[in-house]
Structure 1
Amino acid sequence: MNYIIKHISTRDTYLIRHPVLRSGKPIESCVFDGDDLNTTFHLGIYTENRLVGVCSFFKNKNQLLPEAFQYQLRGMAILNEYQNIGLGKLILNYGENLLKEQNIQTIWCNARENAESFYKKMDYKIIGESFNIKNIGLHYVMHKTLKYKNPDIQGF
């Protein structure tokens, strides 16, 4: 199968966020603070013109991390029938490369307990203690240091 990754609208993320991350909850639960900021971007992965996965990147600093230029990964989701075939790795690598081109130092996320092993395989490390997000479950703050493409330029 061929896959295409491209920038998508906030609204398009709901098509995947809702069934994967917010199943049984109102569609409004898929709206994240900062979704429409000009520093936020959303990616979608398509196969045969069908959107099957999404992830969003927010300019957001986590106080547990010292680096000045940080982005938060949020709302990463692949439709169930397309999971475990490498699409999460493809879309996350694509987003990380976009951040590297902008010389972002660190990417971090609030990883669900059942996604911890995926992020570890992608070289993310846990920082701090686990915590619970009401009505969603146990999470870990995980982060990864990105290597600058151009060390003379820093951040967006």
Structure 2
Amino acid sequence: MFTIKETTADSLIALRWQVLRPGHPESAAHFAEDAAEGSVHFAALDTNGAVIGCASVIKKNNALQLRGMATAPEWQGKGVGQAVLVAVQQHAQRCSLPLWCNARVSAVGFYQKSGWHTQGEPFTVAGVGPHYLMRFSSESC
């Protein structure tokens, strides 16, 4: 059992670091835009209040970028990531803004199941690995 709520970026750093930046300094899990106006952060919390899933939405120009999407390893495959992603998508729809992300190649299928589409060729994020630009289309859900 878990719940999804809006939260602060600081509450997500430990999970981001564990899942997305292992082997890097903890500072690699902080994003410059975390405190920017229009940034929103979502957490999935277990029954004890521990963060087991997370994502951040960063407003950039006239669009929203999904960043820092992560699920604790022991919770993967149990619907946590999907629930966080739905919260992000609903936020974008309420804002009436397009939603995009740079997705790791290994996560492309996860996003595609929710109506996301790759755009262009894969590219490499230094120190992280290959990614695709992906865009969300609510018409395909």
Q: Give the whole-Å Cα distance in 2 for the aligned partners of 1:30 and 1:14.
A: 6
Cross-structure match for 2:131:
139
Q: Give the whole-Å Cα distance in 2 for the aligned partners of 1:141 and 1:126.
A: 6
| Structure 1, gaps ≥5 residues long | 62-68, 148-156
- Offset at 1:50? 1.4
Cross-structure match for 2:12:
13
Partner AA of 2:131 in structure 1? H
Conserved in 2, the CA contact under 8 Å of 1:107 and 1:146? no
Bigger proportion of residues as helix: 2
Deviation string for 1:71-121 (max 9, x for gaps)?
0000000000000111111111012112211222x1100000110110111
Cross-structure match for 2:70:
77
Partner AA of 1:88 in structure 2? G
- Match of 1:88, SS state, is helix
Larger radius of gyration: 1
Conserved in 1, the CA contact under 8 Å of 2:115 and 2:138? no
Cross-structure match for 2:36:
37
Conserved in 1, the CA contact under 8 Å of 2:12 and 2:51? no
Task: Give the alignment's Cα RMSD to 1 decimal.
Answer: 1.2
From 106, 110, 117, the equivalent of 1:118 is 110
Range moving further from structure 2, 93-102 or 70-79: 93-102
| Structure 2, gaps ≥5 residues long | none
| Identity between Structure 1 and Structure 2 (%) | 30
How many residues matched?
138
TM-score, structure 1 length as denominator?
A: 0.84
After the TM superposition, which residues 48-63 of structure 1 pair with which residues of structure 2 at under 5 Å, given as runs? Answer: 48=47, 49-61=49-61
Cross-structure match for 1:99:
92
Runs of 4+ deviating beyond 3 Å: none
- Offset at 1:24? 1.2
